[in-house]
Structure formats: structure tokens, C-alpha cells
């Protein structure tokens, strides 16, 4: 188990770095997909099968397909990418660094949370997730689903307008 954990983590980190460093945007997307799959592997190690599969369906299967779709259509190559000025680059580095610090601080906080909620093996199973969503977080869940429905209806209405 621990070996699997380290392997998945290594795959995740390497592919995440390759997303940033690879020149070809299509390659970046593919490395991001690998990264997501490794993350799904982590979920499975935590016995959160539902989360793992939904993660694959939603992120790998839908969002990344759209990413790839757009990148394929854009036909990006080196000539199109504009050279950024020095000020933009420096400010980008600073913003990124600050964001990294925030993440680091947030990660440190998680130790406390860990102590408060002990790990349960069945937390990620579909029945547990369902119970939590429909009892503890019923209102936010329903609100967000109404939001999604309205977004979808809106999209269909946009489509109908032209026809």
C-alpha cells in the first residue's frame, strides 16, 4: 500500500511538473490527464471509490476533453504565443509565489483537521457520500443543483434561439 502511495505521488508530481514545462500544449493536457488519473488512484487508496470514479468522469472525461478540444481547434504553435514583457513575468512569479505560500499555509492547517476528524474507511463510499450530502449539506447541494439546471436550461435556450 505504502509503495503504491509513493508511486502514485511520484507520477502525480512528475506529470504535474511536465504540464508546466512541456512546450506543446497538447502534451501539457495529456500530462494533466495522467495527473488526474493518479489522483483518482489516491482516492481509491483511501477507499473512496465513488469520488475516484466521479473524479475520472467529471475531470478526466469531460473537462479535459473540452480542454483538449479547444486546444486542438486553436492550433497553437510557437509563433502565436506572444513574448511577455519583463514586468508581466516578474509579477507573474510574485503572484505564483504568494499563491504557493497560501497553499502551504492551508496544508499546515490540515493537521489540526486530521485530528478532529479521524479517518473512516467508508467515508468515500457512495452511500456515505449520499447520506452526508442529503442530510448535513442538503441546502447547499440543492442550491448548486438548481444552479446547474438553470445553467443547462440556459445553454439549451441559447441553442434554440438561433434555430
Partner 1 sequence: MDWTILIYKTIFLFIILFVTLLVAMYSTYGERKVAAFMQDRRGPNRAGPFGLFQPLADGVKMFMKEEIIPLTANKKLFILGPSIAMTTALLTGVVIPWGATLKIGGREFSMQIADLNIGILYVFAMVSIGVYGIMIGGWASNNKYALYGAIRAASQMISYELAMGMSIVALILTTGSLSLHEIVEQQQGMHWNIFYQPLGFLIFLTCAFAETNRAPFDLPECETELIGGYHTEYSSMKLGFYLFAEYINMFVSSAVIATLYFGGYNMPFIDQLGLSPNTVTLLGTAFFFLKIFGMIFLFMWIRWTLPRFRYDQLMNLGWKGLIPLAIFNIFVTGVYYFFTELT
In the complex, the residues that contact partner 1 under the rule CB under 8 A are 26, 30, 33, 49-50, 53-54, 56-57, 60-62, 65-66, 68-69, 72-73, 125-127, 152, 155-156, 159-160, 163
The least CB distance from residue 61 to partner 1, in Å, is 2
Query: What Å distances lie between residue 48 and 36, 64, 112, 119, CA to CA?
Result: 15, 22, 22, 12
Output the nine-digit C-alpha cell for 130. 449520499
Q: In sequence order, which residues have a C-beta less than 8 Å from that of residue 25 and are 6 or more positions away?
A: 71, 76
- 97/154 with CB nearer partner 1: 154
The least CB distance from residue 56 to partner 1, in Å, is 4
Q: In sequence order, which residues have a C-beta less than 8 Å from that of residue 84 and are 6 or more positions away?
A: 92
- 62/90 with CB nearer partner 1: 62
- 146/155 with CB nearer partner 1: 155
- 105/163 with CB nearer partner 1: 163
The least CB distance from residue 28 to partner 1, in Å, is 13
Provide the phi-psi class of 48: left if phi over 0, else alpha when psi is between -120 and 50, else beta. beta
Amino acid at each position: 500500500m505504502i509503495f503504491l502511495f509513493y508511486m502514485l505521488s511520484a507520477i502525480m508530481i512528475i506529470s504535474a511538473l511536465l504540464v508546466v514545462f512541456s512546450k506543446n500544449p497538447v502534451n501539457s493536457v495529456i500530462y494533466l490527464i495522467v495527473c488526474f488519473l493518479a489522483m483518482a488512484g489516491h482516492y481509491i487508496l483511501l477507499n473512496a471509490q465513488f469520488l475516484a470514479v466521479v473524479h475520472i468522469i467529471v475531470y478526466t472525461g469531460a473537462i479535459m476533453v473540452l480542454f483538449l478540444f479547444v486546444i486542438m481547434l486553436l492550433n497553437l504553435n510557437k509563433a502565436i504565443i506572444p513574448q511577455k514583457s519583463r514586468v508581466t513575468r516578474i509579477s507573474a512569479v510574485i503572484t505564483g509565489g504568494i499563491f504557493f505560500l497560501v497553499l502551504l499555509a492551508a496544508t499546515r492547517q490540515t493537521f489540526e483537521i486530521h485530528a478532529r476528524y479521524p479517518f473512516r474507511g467508508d467515508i468515500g463510499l457512495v452511500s456515505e457520500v449520499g447520506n452526508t450530502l442529503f442530510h448535513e449539506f442538503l441546502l447547499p447541494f440543492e442550491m448548486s443543483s438548481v444552479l446547474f439546471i438553470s445553467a443547462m436550461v440556459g445553454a439549451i435556450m441559447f441553442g434554440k434561439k438561433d434555430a
